[in-house]
Amino acid sequence: MKRILVVDDDAWVRKLVRGYLERAGFLVVTAASGPEALTEFTVHPPDLVVLDLMLPGMDGFDVATRIRQRSAVPIIMLTARATEDNRVLGLELGADDYVVKPFSARELEARVRAVFRRADSSPDEPRVAEAAGIRVDFERREAWADGKSVDLTALEFDLLAFLVRHPGHAFTRLELLEALRGTTFASFERAIDSHVKRLRKKVEPVPEEPSRIVTVYGIGYKLATEDPDGIS
C-alpha cells in the first residue's frame, strides 16, 4: 500500500484529504508544520508528499528543498499561490505537480495516481536502456553516466528516462511537459529549462559544454546521437 504524507496547517484540509485518499486505498499520515513534516518524513518515509506552501515557521519551499536533499520521492505542491513565478519555483525545486486551492479531493486523487503511474515502469517497456553514455534502469529507477551512479529527483529521472527512450529525437519544451506531466502548461516552459540544466550538471562530462542533452535551436532538447548537426 502506498504511503502518502499530507502537509497542511489547516486541520480541515488535512482531515478532508486524508479521508478521501484513505478511501481511495492509500495509507495517509499528516503533519501541520514544516518541522513536523520533516520529522514524519524521517520516521515514516512516504511514497509521495502532498505539501502545502503556506506553512508556519518553515514554508513549503524550504521543506521541499530539504526533502530533495535526501530523497527523490514525488512531491505535489498544494497552495493558494496561483502566480506563474510560484508555480515555476515549485517545479524548479523538484515538485512533480502543482495543485491550486480551492481544489476537489477527486482532482487531487487523480493527480496522485498520475504521479504514481509516471513513477512506475510500464511492464511492456524494457527494463534497461542505454544511449549517449547514459544507462537507465526503469524498474529500479536508477541511472548511470559513464558507469557512475547518478542521484536524481523523481522528475529529473522521468525526464532523463524519456530522452533515453527516444535518442536523437528533438522535443519541444511543451512536448516534454506533456510527456512528463500528462498535460501542457505554456507558462512552465522555464521549469523544463531548469531541470535540463540540473540534469546536465549530473550527466554531462562538461556541463557548460553539453554533448548529451543538447539544445536544438528553434525546437527544444534531445539526447544526442553521433550526429552533431544542429545542436549546441
Tens-digit pLDDT profile for residues 81-127: 656 666 666 666 667 788 888 888 888 888 888 888 776 644 455 68
The continuous run of DSSP H or E covering 223 comes out as strand 220-223
pLDDT of residue 174: 80
Percent of the chain whose predicted confidence (pLDDT) is above 90 = 42
When mean pLDDT is compared across 9-13, 188-192, 200-204, 225-229, the lowest value belongs to 225-229
What would the CATH number be for the domain defined by 128-223?
1.10.10.10
Please give the single-letter amino acid code of residue 209. E
Higher pLDDT, 160 or 117: 160
Residue 15, C-alpha cell as written in the block: 482531515
Assess whether pLDDT exceeds 50 at residue 14: yes
E strand segments, 142-181: 142-145, 148-150, 171-172
β-sheet with 97-100: strand ranges across: 27-31, 3-7, 48-52, 75-79, 97-100
Q: Given pLDDT bands bounded at 50, 70 and 90, which one contains residue 177? A: confident
Q: Given pLDDT bands bounded at 50, 70 and 90, which one contains residue 63? A: very high
Please give the single-letter amino acid code of residue 94. G
Q: DSSP assignment, residue 122?
A: P
Please give the single-letter amino acid code of residue 180. L
Could you state, in order of their start, the residue ranges of all structural domains in the chain?
3-119, 128-223
The residue count of the chain comes to 232
| Short-list 232, 130, 150, CA closest to 222 | 232
Which CATH architecture fits 3-119?
A: 3-Layer(aba) Sandwich (3.40)
Identify the three-state secondary structure at position 23.
helix
The continuous run of DSSP H or E covering 134 comes out as strand 134-137
The continuous run of DSSP H or E covering 3 comes out as strand 3-7
Residue with C-alpha cell 525545486? 93
Contacts (Cβ under 8 Å, ≥6 apart) of 152: 72, 143, 160, 199, 202
